[in-house]
Amino acid sequence: MPRAVDISGARDDRDLPVGVRWGVGGAIAQKFAKEGFHVVLTTRHAANAAGLDQAIREQGGASTIVEMDLVSDASISKAFATMRERHGDPDVLVYNAGYLEGRDLPPDKELLEHVPVEILETAQHIASRGPFLVAKEVLPAMRKRGAGSFLISNNSSSLRGRKRLTGQSLYYPRVMMRTLAQVLTEEYSEHGVHVANVVIDGLIDSPGTRALPRAQKQPEIVMNPVKIAEAFYYLHSQDRSCWTHELQLTPFSTKPSF
Looking at residues 139-154, what average pLDDT do you find? 98
Q: List the domain range (segments joined by +) for residue 245.
A: 73-249
The whole-number average pLDDT for the span 57-69 is 97
pLDDT value of residue 240:
96
The answer to whether position 104 is within a domain reads yes
**Domain count along the chain:** 1
Query: Where does the pLDDT of residue 8 fall: very low under 50, low under 70, confident under 90, or very high at 90 and above?
Result: low
Q: Distance of alpha carbon 75 from its chain centroid, rounded?
A: 18
As a whole-number percent, the residues of the chain with pLDDT over 70 amount to: 95
Of 55-64, 136-145, 160-169, which gets the smallest average pLDDT?
160-169
Closest CA to 154 of 209, 201, 186: 201
In CATH, what number is assigned to the domain containing residue 126? 3.40.50.720
The answer as to whether 31 is a domain residue is no
pLDDT of residue 10: 55
Note whether residue 236 is domain-resident. Answer: yes
Listed as own residue / partner, the contacts of 50-55 with beta carbons closer than 8 Å and 24 or more positions apart are: 50/12, 51/10, 51/12, 51/14, 51/21, 51/22, 52/10, 52/12, 52/21, 52/22, 52/26, 55/18, 55/21, 55/26, 55/30
Instruction: Give the amino acid at 180.
Output: L
Residues 127 and 173 sit within 8 Å (Cβ to Cβ): yes
State phi, psi for 37 to the nearest 5 degrees: -85, 145
Tens of pLDDT, residues 35-48: 999 999 999 999 99
Q: Is residue 199 part of a domain?
A: yes
> Does a structural domain hold residue 120?
yes
Q: pLDDT band for 9, please (50, 70, 90 cuts).
A: low
Q: Is there a domain that residue 167 lies in?
A: yes
- State the average pLDDT for the chain: 92
Does 55 reside within a domain? no
* Residue at 21 is within a domain: no
pLDDT of amino acid 219: 93
